[in-house]
Structure formats: structure tokens, C-alpha cells
Amino acid sequence: MPMKITRPTLLLDKQKALQNISRMAAKAKQNGVRLRPHFKTHQSAQVGEWFRAYGVEAITVSSVRMARYFADHGWTDIMIAFPANVLEMESINELASRINLHLVAVNQDTVTALAKGLRHPVQLSLKIDTGYRRTGILATNYAEVDAIVQLIREQEKLQFAGFVVHDGHTYKQTDADAIQTIFNTSVYQLRQLRNRYKAKHPNLQLSIGDTPSCSIIEALQGVDEIRPGNFVFYDLMQQRIGSCTFEDIAVCMACPVVAKHPDRGEIILYGGSVHFSKEVLLQEDASTSYGRVVTLTEDGWSEPLEGIQVVSLSQEHGVVKATPEQFSKYNIGDLMGVLPVHSCLTANLMQGYLTTEGEVLEHLTGLPQQLVS
């Protein structure tokens, strides 16, 4: 590693991230769909810049604050893919005054409140639930969609843009066919909806967003836009689903070894739930993992090692279980590399990156933990 690391640090392999972006951009182009990447994964102005070389001009974020951050860094076409929070009308207006802002609604009350509060035009899409059952209007609830479309039409500041879906239930799958089925079901339902309104709205856009579908399915036909986010870094959860290989994972924690317990083959890391998050992965053998150990090298890291992994986390401690052979390789004061279970949450906690080329990159939430006093 090019820089002296003394505390838990989130490493970022820029070349891997660029490859991930390149692959997704090529797939979008090949399928004739717009790539509107979700920036909530990296939340970094500098990582955001990397997308421009691949023709990305429109982005997705998950909060008004994140939209403002990227607007301040030159992005002019931003969708906040979260049910519009009408309490933030003032910030929404400020943003709508200077960028092409897309909002998402899931009910009439929100549409009414937006119509009342907006002073500048915004694009408004309806969030549709095609099976995830977190939020969204049920795709088959035509009465509700009819009513809300009619309501939008009557509002001067709202431009009805289309339908957005997030198929979060693909995160529970580990089988490509299951993910293909979810995608097909969503596309079918979205197209039914579009057909219903196309006479009055010929340009309605269909937008879909999960990393598993966008990674695994080659023919992303039937939609106009994809909004994956996690793919820029990937992580153990995505590898488990089948969205990526271990080699594609572009972020890795480096954690100091602070204690060893030979009687039970456990190594204690400085690196806990305030660094990794509490996200846990159920593995094929039904064991749970909080991170897979890799060997840190001059310019990156290896594939995950067998016989060693993070088995529990408390606030600052990570407990690593190792075979005797792996156990003997580590000494107090060494750095251990750990691939995170969920890179979005780890990046959100770590507040910044150190690239394997030695560059420090910022994160919306603050300065990198490892670089501030």
C-alpha cells in the first residue's frame, strides 16, 4: 500500500471500479437504455467524475442532501429515487431552480403537497411495486394509478415522467433464472401501465434499478433506463447473489491486528460495526460472515482466503476465526484486508476512501475517518 495505514481504512481499487462502470455502461449502450447510476453507494464527488468518461450525464440519489451535494459538483440531471419527503420543500425548490430535478411519488397526498409547495417545475415519476412489497403503488392497482396520473396532469409544476421500480427482492435470490423471472415480471407490468397512458403521454419512461438484475441479465430489454448503484464497488452480498465475482469487488477494508487468541484460533481486529456496519451474510454452508479475509498486496488484494473470516463484530472489535495455518500468518500490528458484506453501508460509515494508487477521496458524510484527527 502506498500510504502508511494505522487505523481501519477503506481501500478502493480504482481500476476495478472503472471496469465495473465500463461494463455496465457498455451493456446499457448495447441494449439502448439510459444508465442513470445510483450514487448512494459511493457518495463521492470524485468517484462520480469517473462516470463521465462513459457517457453518464444523469444520476440517481436517495436524498435531497445527496442531490444537493452532486448538484454542487456539476450534475444537472438528478433523480431522487425515494418517496418525496414533502417536509424538505424548501431544499427541493432550491434544487429545482437550478437543475433538472426528478422526484418520485407513491401517493396522492404527496402529489398534492408538491403541487402546493413547488415554485419550479420538476419531473415526477410514480414508484411502482412489481413484487418487492417495500413501497410503491401496486402495479395492478389501476384505480390508484389512474387517480394519481389525473392529479399530476392537473398540476402546473409537475411533469409526469413515467414509472420507476426497485426490485429489491432480487437481493434474496442466488439463482439467475429467479432474477430473470423477477425482471420479466416487472417489465411486463410496467409495459401494461405505459400502454394505459401512452395516448396522452407518449414519452413515458420505464426505469428499473437493482444491481442484481442489471448485472446478471444480458438483454435488458423493455425499459428505458437502469439505475443500479452498488455495481461500482460490488461486495460479498452481490457475489453471493451472482452479480459479480470476488475479483470485481473494488473496495476492501484494511484493519490493524490488535490481539490473537491461539487457544480458539481467533484474531481480534481494530474494525467493528462502526466501520463495517452490522450487515451479515448467510453463506452457502449456512454459516454467517461479517467479512472475508484477503491478502493485502503492493497494489491491491488477493481473492478471499479459505479457512479465515470475520465471524462477529462489536462496536470497534472484529473477531476473525482462522485455521491454525492462517492464524500463524498474522502478527500484532499487521494489517488484515477484509472484503465488506455491504459496500454501501461500509462506505457510508468510513466517510472516504484511500485508492490503491494513494489518492484520498471524499464522501458526502465527512472527511475520511482515517485522515482526520
Distance from C-alpha of 276 to C-alpha of 290, rounded to nearest angstrom: 8
Long-range contacts of 304-308 (CB under 8 A, 24+ apart): 304/246, 304/339
The 8-class DSSP code of residue 202 comes to T
Stretch that binds a copy of itself, among 25-33, 56-64, 204-212, 234-242 (CB under 8 A): 56-64
Nearest-approach distance from CB 76 to a copy of itself, in angstroms: 18
- Helices 64-72/89-96 angle, 10° precision: 30
| 5 scored as a contact of a copy of itself (CB under 8 A) | yes
Pairing status of strand 122-129 against strand 137-138: parallel
Pairing status of strand 300-301 against strand 296-297: antiparallel
Burial 105-132 (b: 16+ CB within 10 A, else e): bbbeebbebbbeebeeebbbbbbbbbbb
Cell of 55: 457517457
Cell of 348: 457510508
Q: Which of 68, 102, 169, 194 binds a copy of itself (CB under 8 A)?
A: 68
List all residues 6 or more positions away from 120 whose beta carbon is below 8 Å from its beta carbon: 93, 96, 97, 101, 157
Q: Which of 1, 204, 251, 319 binds a copy of itself (CB under 8 A)?
A: 319
Distance from C-alpha of 259 to C-alpha of 271, rounded to nearest angstrom: 12
Q: Which of 49, 109, 299, 325 binds a copy of itself (CB under 8 A)?
A: 109
| 147 scored as a contact of a copy of itself (CB under 8 A) | no
Q: Which of 16, 27, 36, 40 binds a copy of itself (CB under 8 A)?
A: 40
| 360 scored as a contact of a copy of itself (CB under 8 A) | no
- Pattern of binders to a copy of itself over 113-142, x per CB under 8 A? x-------------------xxx--x----
Q: Which of 273, 289, 309, 346 binds a copy of itself (CB under 8 A)?
A: 273
Distance from C-alpha of 355 to C-alpha of 122, rounded to nearest angstrom: 37
Nearest-approach distance from CB 367 to a copy of itself, in angstroms: 8
| 151 scored as a contact of a copy of itself (CB under 8 A) | no
Q: Which of 91, 100, 180, 181 binds a copy of itself (CB under 8 A)?
A: 91
Helix (H) or strand (E) holding 181: helix 176-197
* 194-213 binders of a copy of itself (CB under 8 A): none
- Structural contact between residues 280 and 290, judged by C-beta atoms closer than 8 angstroms: yes
| 351 scored as a contact of a copy of itself (CB under 8 A) | yes
Number of residues that bind a copy of itself (CB under 8 A): 63
Q: Which of 3, 18, 25, 86 binds a copy of itself (CB under 8 A)?
A: 86
The 8-class DSSP code of residue 150 comes to H
The residue ranges that bind a copy of itself (CB under 8 A) are: 5-7, 40, 62-65, 68-69, 82-88, 90-91, 106-107, 109-110, 113, 133-135, 138, 168, 256, 258-261, 263-264, 268, 270, 273-274, 277-279, 314-317, 319, 331-333, 335, 344-345, 348-349, 351, 365-367, 369, 372-373
